[in-house]
Amino acid sequence: MLDPLQAELPTSLPLVVVMERRQIADNRWTDASWRAIGVTVDPEPSGARVLRRRLDGGNEVQHELHSGFQLQLQKDECESYYHNLLSPHPYCYVVASIGEEMLPLPRLVTLSFDEAHAYMEGGEELYTVDMPAEIYRWAEAFVLQNYLPERRHKRKRRAWTQEQTPQ
């Protein structure tokens, strides 16, 4: 368990991603749909990347475990983390690429919407997963240590009718 009041927080956490494959009947374009259904802290981080490990093999629904991810927090992304944490539904964003077999392969996990959106604009698949409480507490402590929201200042109106125009 992470102590959010620790003087020195870790800047990365080892993670595991759970993907779900659902069979689609009577669709001529595809036979299955994929989605990320969970992200959690890896209790036994090995550092090695295990790409796919099937958890169960039902006919309609299959689950796969992807381990070896490191969730990195960066100080320059604190504003994005801050807005994510304050949103009604804080998310972990799983960025995946489509492999040769047309299967999604998770590549990274981030808490920054800005970073996730950049990958999505680049053509990568993006999945959202509800942020687990342990990751939320860790990210919250990181933001509290490294970010001070800028106070918004209301701009004063200028009398545009009295401004002189260049001649």
* pLDDT grade for 51, boundaries at 50, 70 and 90: low
Output the furthest CA–CA distance in the chain (Å, rounded).
Answer: 78
Q: How far apart are CA 18 and CA 35, in angstroms?
A: 9
> Across the chain, what does the average pLDDT equal?
84
Quick one: pLDDT at residue 147?
Answer: 80
pLDDT for the residue 33: 85
Lowest mean pLDDT among 17-26, 69-78, 81-90: 17-26
Burial of 161 per CB tally in 10 Å (0-12, 13-18, 19+): exposed
Mean pLDDT of 54-60: 67
Task: Measure the CA dihedral 120/122/125/131, to 10°.
Answer: -40
pLDDT tens-digit readout, 30-48: 778 889 999 999 887 776 6
- Residue 34, amino acid: W
Which alpha helices (H) appear in 7-127, and where do they start and end? 78-86, 113-121
Beta partners for residue 94, in sequence order:
109, 127
Q: For residue 135, is pLDDT > 80? A: yes
Among 113, 110, 108, 109, which Cα is nearest to 87's?
113
Give the mean model confidence (pLDDT) for residues 133-150: 91
Structure tokens given for 10: 């870790």
Please indicate whether residue 4 or residue 136 has the higher confidence score (pLDDT).
Answer: 136
Q: Give the per-residue pLDDT at 53.
A: 64
How does pLDDT run across 3-30, given as a tens digit for each residue? 545 567 887 899 999 998 888 788 778 7
